[in-house]
Homo-oligomer: A and B are copies of this chain.
């Protein structure tokens, strides 16, 4: 049950906005349910603090579409609302998602306005999955896009996910750990996520453990007896005194001392890590690594790296787990074609490009230079990012492993211009093809 409640392929159909169902009933009643439609899912604007997004959540979203079912208890609840006809309840009961989907590969860097996926199929079907698709792709893309900055700032040092306690609920914690893994995070402290995705799990000790002993030395001795290769948390009373206690323990244990690391969790991490490193080295404990945690994000990690703080790995929790500086992206899912004709909403400031689209990434010298968005049927140079992933409700090809997705992400990120990979604001050019520009004008002129 825990696996079923948390992750891939188990998003309940009843997790939807009511209006998806009222619209579907109207479509069904008016014989419009099967009109062919295309919806496009994209992020309207990029926040100033994000130079690119890392597309994530696609595999889990496709799994959810494949298993999308209204169960008997769902139907009973919908009936109880008193707004739905027996005929529509039958339609819901029989509902199986049969649309086709094109999407970018998970782990692909994306920019404002570029479709992460497009759904084409019967209007009522494509509309009905809106809440689910936005929620799933928003959560993972937002968290992966934050984590990739943290991992980048650490410049090769390990980053581990300590977010479970303040991330927004269990679903975010479990699916967030997946997004973090795609972005290059090495491990998680969260056992439920570890089991769900086969991720390495890590953990050290809490201050409460140290406080439960008459002295810090006793606490370290006891924990190292149970877990010889553990990491010892040294800041419960005084960080450098704590490092002294670790050195004392090494002298006491001699060759039996196998402690891997000390963890600093408060104070001036740059200064403390330098002194701790000197102390450990002077005691011949060069192999003992320094692990840092405590309110870290990409900026504090970049500052520590720039200051040459001798920190080997970072535990990052709340600020990555909640994407604290950007806790929401402007993801939308918009109707762009109906019955073979382009559709756009004309509300001020909310421009949408009509039809089925393609994105071409144009590279020179191994680096991405610009993207072109065009009509799906155009021919253009560059790498076409949107590829068929689902045909009539059935996935095309095997599910990629999470490791494969993460490896793809690393390759794609390496092909971005250096400036985009840094923390200073930078923008990447995304152009709209002449054909799509003309088509958009045509659709707008027709007032659709």
Report which of B14, B73, B168, B237 forms a contact with A167, defined as CB distance below 8 A: B168
B-side contacts of A21, CB under 8 Å? 191, 203
B-side contacts of A278, CB under 8 Å? none
Interface: A347 (CB within 8 A): yes
Report which of B10, B134, B175, B235 forms a contact with A165, defined as CB distance below 8 A: B134
Binds B, one of A94-102, A327-335, A380-388: A327-335
Interface: A89 (CB within 8 A): no
Interface: A419 (CB within 8 A): no
B-side contacts of A345, CB under 8 Å? 207, 211, 236-237
Interface: A423 (CB within 8 A): no
B-side contacts of A195, CB under 8 Å? 14, 77
B-side contacts of A208, CB under 8 Å? 23, 39, 127, 334-335
Interface: A156 (CB within 8 A): no
B-contact 0/1 string along A322-345, CB 8 Å cutoff = 111001110100110010000111
Report which of B81, B164, B168 forms a contact with A168, defined as CB distance below 8 A: B168
Q: A346: shortest Cβ distance to chain B, in Å?
A: 5
Also in contact, A211 and B169, with CB within 8 A (given A10-B5, A14-B2, A347-B236)? no
B-side contacts of A327, CB under 8 Å? 168, 322-324, 327
B-contact 0/1 string along A215-240, CB 8 Å cutoff = 00000001100110010000111110
B-contact 0/1 string along A299-312, CB 8 Å cutoff = 00000000000000
Is there an interface contact between A238 and B192, defined as CB atoms closer than 8 Å? Answer: no
Is there an interface contact between A170 and B1, defined as CB atoms closer than 8 Å? Answer: no
Residues A320-374 near B (CB distance < 8 A): 322-324, 327-329, 331, 334-335, 338, 343-350
Q: A92: shortest Cβ distance to chain B, in Å?
A: 11
Q: A176: shortest Cβ distance to chain B, in Å?
A: 8
Report which of B16, B30, B78, B169 forms a contact with A175, defined as CB distance below 8 A: B169
Is there an interface contact between A15 and B166, defined as CB atoms closer than 8 Å? Answer: no
Interface: A11 (CB within 8 A): yes
Is there an interface contact between B206 and A135, defined as CB atoms closer than 8 Å? Answer: no
Q: A166: shortest Cβ distance to chain B, in Å?
A: 5
Is there an interface contact between B227 and A83, defined as CB atoms closer than 8 Å? Answer: yes
Is there an interface contact between B191 and A14, defined as CB atoms closer than 8 Å? Answer: yes
Interface: A397 (CB within 8 A): no
> What residue of chain B has the Cβ atom nearest to residue A190's Cβ?
B17
Interface: A139 (CB within 8 A): yes
Q: A348: shortest Cβ distance to chain B, in Å?
A: 5
Interface: A267 (CB within 8 A): yes
Interface: A138 (CB within 8 A): yes
B-side contacts of A239, CB under 8 Å? 347
Count chain B CB atoms within 10 A of each CB in A168, A174, A208 and give the residue with the most. Answer: A168
Interface: A185 (CB within 8 A): no
Is there an interface contact between B328 and A318, defined as CB atoms closer than 8 Å? Answer: yes
Also in contact, A238 and B346, with CB within 8 A (given A206-B19, A338-B212)? yes
Residues A58-89 near B (CB distance < 8 A): 71, 73-74, 77-78, 81, 83
Is there an interface contact between A206 and B1, defined as CB atoms closer than 8 Å? Answer: no
B-side contacts of A260, CB under 8 Å? none
- Write the residues of chain A forming the contact surface with B, with a CB cutoff of 8 angstroms: 1-6, 10-12, 14-23, 25-27, 29-30, 32, 35, 37, 39, 71, 73-74, 77-78, 81, 83, 123, 127, 130-131, 134-135, 138-139, 162, 164-176, 189-192, 194-195, 201-209, 211-212, 222-223, 226-227, 230, 235-239, 265-267, 318-319, 322-324, 327-329, 331, 334-335, 338, 343-350, 447-448
6 A-B pairs within 8 Å (CB atoms) are namely A1-B4, A5-B6, A18-B194, A37-B212, A169-B171, A207-B334
